[in-house]
Amino acid sequence: MRKISIKVMKQTVYQDLIEEYENPIQHACDMKIGQVFTANGWEKPEGLCNSAWESMSPFVMTLAHGGEDIYDGWMKNKKSAMISCNDGFRPVSFLIEVLEDEV
83 part of a folded domain = yes
Percentage, residues of the chain above pLDDT 70: 97
85 part of a folded domain = yes
d(CA 23, CA 43): 31
Amino acid 27: pLDDT: 77
Q: Which domain holds residue 33?
A: 3-98
103 part of a folded domain = no
Least confident of 12-16, 31-35, 89-93, 99-103: 99-103
SS3 36: strand
- The answer, yes or no, to whether residue 103 has pLDDT greater than 90, is no
* Average pLDDT of the segment spanning 9-18: 96
* Domain count across the chain: 1
21 part of a folded domain = yes
* Average pLDDT of the segment spanning 38-63: 93
Q: Which residue has the higher pLDDT, 103 or 6?
A: 6
Amino acid 41: pLDDT: 79
75 part of a folded domain = yes
- Which amino acid, one-letter code, is at 58? P
